[in-house]
Amino acid sequence: MKHPAYEQLRQVSPIAGVVLENNPSAMTLDGTNSWVLRAEGHGGGIVVDPGYDDREHLNALLGVAGDVELVLLTHHHGDHSEGAAWFAEQVGAPVRAFEPSLCRDAEPLTDGERLSAGGLELSVLHTPGHTADSVCFVIDGEQPHVLTGDTVLGSGTTVLDDLGDYLDTLAELADVPSGSLGLPGHGPELPDLLVTVKEYREHREQRLDQVRAALAELGPDATARQIVELVYADVDPVLWGPAEASVRAQLDYLRRRG
């Protein structure tokens, strides 16, 4: 069934609207959120994460985005970045990302950098964990907005390249002002990003505590599989495979950092 919201601009605040790409899946939830940012009354806007090189979506985005001054990418995954070069060429705007190879006619983003476009001031936060090149964009104002890419999703938890980096990133995001509107790469917007970040931190800590407890019971040399069989004893063994991958990451983290 076609989602009623696909390929239309849905305004979520005076400065932020979203076009939902028609690419739903287990990884992308409802689909990819392509964000359109613009100060009220300003001519040119910013597009964050144009999505796959999916011309139906990119043309819909062209139709509603108006003039575009800058294309930003939250990270390199194809469901966010693949269509950026084509889209940017159509609108005549540069592409900026943390990963140098994704940039067009512009320098890579750096941590803490201030950007000025779309009549808005944004700051760049390097937030590795989901991927090494993940960034968030913070827009200050009466209600701060934070574009989180896949670092914080609108629902569920995110897949990680590096748990240690990710826990550091969550600690850094715990400094965003309370009441900040979270604009994720997938799923619905988050009315108070800080609340979600706290939930994410608690969830990750609980999982680490489970592994610590299992190690106390099984001994320090226990394998990921042994821990899964203990911790997930009451869970369908079909789910043990994916659980084993995340337990392995938790074990690596605990053995490296205690």
Q: Given the rule CB under 5 A, which residues bind Zn ion?
A: 77, 150
* 189 closest CA partner among 142, 223, 143: 143
- For 70, left (φ over 0), alpha (ψ -120 to 50), or beta? beta
The least distance separating Zn ion from the CB of residue 176, rounded to whole angstroms, comes to 20
- Cβ(135)–Cβ(126) below 8 Å: yes
Closest-by-Cβ residue to Zn ion is: 77
Q: State which residue, 75 or 96, has the beta carbon closest to Zn ion.
A: 75
Q: What gap in Å lies between CA 70 and CA 243, rounded to an integer?
A: 40
Half-sphere exposure of 203 (CA within 13 A, CB side): 14
Q: State which residue, 120 or 173, has the beta carbon closest to Zn ion.
A: 173
Q: What gap in Å lies between CA 258 and CA 254, rounded to an integer?
A: 5
The least distance separating Zn ion from the CB of residue 1, rounded to whole angstroms, comes to 25
Q: Which helix (H) or strand (E) holds 184?
A: strand 181-184
The least distance separating Zn ion from the CB of residue 251, rounded to whole angstroms, comes to 24
Q: State which residue, 161 or 252, has the beta carbon closest to Zn ion.
A: 161
Q: State which residue, 77 or 145, has the beta carbon closest to Zn ion.
A: 77
The least distance separating Zn ion from the CB of residue 203, rounded to whole angstroms, comes to 19
The least distance separating Zn ion from the CB of residue 198, rounded to whole angstroms, comes to 22
Handedness of CA 77, 80, 85, 86 (dihedral sign): positive
Q: What gap in Å lies between CA 236 and CA 17, rounded to an integer?
A: 41
| CB count in 10 Å sphere of residue 126 | 18
Query: Does the annotation count 133 as an active-site position?
Result: no
Which is catalytic among the residues 30, 79, 133, 165?
A: 79
Q: State which residue, 75 or 145, has the beta carbon closest to Zn ion.
A: 75
Q: What gap in Å lies between CA 30 and CA 22, rounded to an integer?
A: 8
Active-site residues, by number, are 79
